[in-house]
Amino acid sequence: MLKKDNIVLGIIIGLVLPGLFYAILSVAALFIKTGPAWTRPFEPDKMMLLAVFINLLPIRLYFVNWKFDKTGRGVLIITFILVIAFFLFKRYI
């Protein structure tokens, strides 16, 4: 299913993968003891950026390894939109 050259599949992957990774980081942050040294990696801003940049793995996979340009473009478009939304969110809120 994931080896299709479809822009909609890339958009879905680009949205689902960061969401899952952010959820995993949020759950991990609940189990880590709180303290000044342990809370720094689990700030919401850093977790959001890490979740967005996890999309670099499928971008590499679809563009370089499998040569599926449409799916890679879908992931790339969503990644750019999420990064722009993050910085706009940080600036205005």
> Range of 36's domain?
7-92
Give backbone dihedrals phi and psi of 2, rounded to 5 degrees, phi first: -80, -5
Residue 80 falls within a domain, yes or no? yes
pLDDT of residue 29: 84
Contact 75, 14 (CB under 8 A): yes
Q: Is position 1 within any domain?
A: no
The predicted structure's pLDDT at residue 37: 61
Q: Which amino acid, 3?
A: K
Residue 23 lies in a domain: yes
Asked whether the beta carbons of 25 and 86 are under 8 A apart, the reply is: no
The answer to whether residue 2 sits within a structural domain is: no
Query: Can you give the pTM of this predicted structure?
Result: 0.89
- Number of separate domains in the chain: 1
Q: What is the mean pLDDT of each run of 10 residues along the chain (93 residues)?
A: 90 97 91 66 86 95 95 97 94 84
The pLDDT assigned to 83 comes to 96
CB burial readout 12-41, b (16+ within 10 A) else e: ebbbebbeebbeebeeebeeeeeeeeeeee
Per-residue confidence (pLDDT) for residue 23, from 0 to 100: 96
Tell me, yes or no, whether 43 lies in a domain.
yes
